[in-house]
A and B are shown apart, each in its own frame.
Chain A
Amino acid sequence: MKRVNRRFSTLLFLGIAAALLGAVTLAGICLKDAALVTDFSRKDLPPCQGFLFGTDWMGRDMFARTLAGLSLSIRVGLLTAGISACVALVLGVLSAAFGGWVDALISWWIDLVMGTPHILLVILLSIACGKGFTGVVVGVALSHWTSLARVIRGEVLQLKTAPYLLAAEKLGVSRWNRVKLHLLPHLLPQFLTGLILLFPHAILHEASVTFLGFGLSSEQPAVGVILSESMRYLTTGKWWLALFPGAALVLVVVLFALLGERVRLLLDPGSVHE
């Protein structure tokens, strides 16, 4: 039997995972209206053929609600992880490239953000922006950049003394061109994997903050909202309200984590041997 090339199987996995996540996102957008349909003739149904995840006390189809919620989570995750990674890139490069008091200030700022428990920081930021969609996005985006910023800062510090950069400086390449031509291409793999590995955290924190009541408003079919509502019906034995949406969320987050792991292997082939 011919052994499948590892690179090929990794690429295949990437394709399938990306397609799956894309499909969930699209399906959620399409099912947004179906998720809001209430029908009291079919309320509190346990999982059955017509309703895979059952229905809630207002007769809403939990499958549609879950998909819509996941789609919302993924979109919020993409947005916040993107912003976070960009903040990390800018601050990390600034910190390492300028050194001195800029570095001291940014490092202090990173320590400050890392020192506050994440959830509390997201709550504070969310309150500052008046909760809701903006609150979640700002809260999650501005609290997750720290570790990536540190990685990028370390990388740039290391690169700064690399012979080819010193040579470029002596050859009279301008500072901006050195950053653009020599530094950024080197940072790209770190940046991309950091970005993808931010998704799981972003999605989990979005769901957590929404669950606590500081995030997306309760009319929206967010996973956090679904789970916090399900809490009221747990004691009456409606287990499906909590089990399936949560499990689906875990699945999406695992997919993102695996995706990030595989992308790292592709972009940084040396790490395969670890």
Chain B
Amino acid sequence: MKQALFFAGKKAFRALLLLLGVSVASFLLLCASPLDPLRTNVGQAALGSMSQEQVAQLEAYWGADQPPVERYLGWLAGAVRGDLGTSLLYRQPVLTVIGQRLGSSLWLLLTAWVLSGVLGLALGITAGAFRGRWPDKLIRGWCLVISSTPAFWLALLFLLLFSVWLGWLPIGLSVPIGVEEEAVTLADRLQHALLPALTLSVTGVSNIALHTREKLVDVLGSDYILLARARGEREGAIVLRHGLRNVALPALTLQFGSVGEIIGGSVLVEQVFSYPGLGQAAVTAGLGSDLPLLLGVTLVTSGLVFGGNLLADLLYGVIDPRMKRGEGRP
């Protein structure tokens, strides 16, 4: 138990160090940018007609007058105390903006994450069990096409099909237009989140399906499966009893490792559906040079990714006792 805690602590410390690295790297990248925040947000023409004092005031607001190191240290000092600064575009604390956005994004991400995992596992197992026959070929072909399809184009297609052509689902946003916040029902929210969640789930399937298939093929070629077959067990029982158990661990690792991809996909999908989530905030912040917000979003999403990896590492030991610390990964 003590060892396990030590292991978890070490991993968490490493994740914290990586987060610090992410913040330094993103800050440096954003500071190195030749894009002038004043020019992108105020416009060249408006800048020209302003007085010197006004320009200086704006520069102070966008933080363009301080040297980078000072700004980073100031930001870090705030971040340690749980204050990520104020979003320049939304004029609200970054944490408030992120909190709101994450609230609407989170269960979109969660649904997509769970759905793609379950679907991927099921498809992978089917393909592995029918290796070389038509279901396998079909699933592999499907995975190839899906992994080659940009998420935003799939979102556009779904939008065309379900919203424009069939008219079943709304075109965008997370709530109906022109309705007060109190009047929005859960059904409304569900209806608006359905297409984005569907798109995200479909795009996340291929990686896990292909890896699960590969692994199951390996497992089914092993000696204990041969023995089980010789003993007269039915093929379905073999796959479920022996296959699934051995495939679960790598699938779980992949699933926790795919957090980053799902978040990346959500940036694109939210943009297409104008869904007011974290991804859309990132794009808005990036286009508008809103440094504190972009930094905050990067940090929070990276935190989610590291958290996913950390959980996977910890779950190893729980699921497979042989994998306890010291014996290393498979």
Contacts and interface: CB of A to CB of B under 8 A. Distances in A.
Report if A and B associate in a common complex.
yes
Interface in B146-168: 147-153, 156-157, 159-160, 164-165
Interface string A113-129: 01111111001110111
Interface of A is mostly: helix
A124 B26 contact: yes
B31 to A, nearest CB: 8
Contacts of A78: none
Given A249-B150, A257-B147, A117 B29 contact: no
Contacts of B171: 235
B153 A120 contact: no
Interface stretch (B79-87, B112-120, B223-231, B298-306): B298-306
A115 B30 contact: no
A115 B156 contact: no
A246 B283 contact: no
A210 to B, nearest CB: 10
B135 to A, nearest CB: 18
Given A128-B29, A237-B164, A120 B152 contact: no
B10 to A, nearest CB: 14
A108 B18 contact: yes
A250 B145 contact: yes
B65 interface: no
A75 B304 CA distance: 34
B264 interface: yes
A246 to B, nearest CB: 4
B153 A254 contact: no
Contact of A242 (B157, B165, B289, B301): B157
Interface residues of B, number: 52
Given A115-B306, A118-B261, A120-B298, A250 B153 contact: yes
Interface in A196-223: 200, 204, 207-208, 211-214
Interface in B298-320: 298, 301-302, 305-306, 309
A239 interface: yes
A116 B305 CA distance: 7
Interface in A232-269: 234-235, 237, 239, 242-243, 246, 249-250, 253-254, 257-258
B305 A130 contact: no
A130 B33 contact: yes
Interface centre among B149, B171, B289 (most CB of A within 10 A): B149
Contact of B156 (A131, A242, A253): A242
B153 A242 contact: yes
B282 A123 contact: yes
Contacts of B260: 114-118
B306 A207 contact: no
A112 interface: yes
B150 A207 contact: yes
Contacts of A130: 33-35
Nearest to A130: B34
A193 interface: no
A236 to B, nearest CB: 9
B272 interface: yes
A253 B154 CA distance: 14
Contact of B283 (A116, A212, A253): A212
A225 to B, nearest CB: 12
A145 to B, nearest CB: 15
A212 B271 contact: yes
Contacts of B214: 274
A85 interface: no
A24 to B, nearest CB: 15
Interface centre among A115, A130, A200, A242 (most CB of B within 10 A): A115
B297 interface: yes
Contact of B30 (A127, A207, A230, A242): A127
B152 A208 contact: yes
A250 B148 contact: yes
Contacts of A234: 156, 159-160, 164
B153 A128 contact: no
B152 A243 contact: no
Contacts of A119: 264-265, 267-268
Nearest to B297: A120
Interface of A: 108, 111-112, 114-120, 123-125, 127-131, 200, 204, 207-208, 211-214, 227, 230-231, 234-235, 237, 239, 242-243, 246, 249-250, 253-254, 257-258, 274
Given A123-B286, A130-B35, 9 more contacts: A116-B22, A116-B298, A117-B301, A117-B302, A127-B289, A128-B28, A239-B160, A239-B165, A250-B153
11 contacts: A115-B309, A116-B302, A128-B28, A129-B34, A211-B152, A212-B267, A214-B286, A231-B272, A237-B164, A249-B153, A274-B217
Q: Which 9 interchain pairs have the tightest Cβ spacing?
A: A246-B153, A253-B148, A128-B29, A119-B264, A130-B34, A117-B264, A117-B263, A117-B260, A254-B148
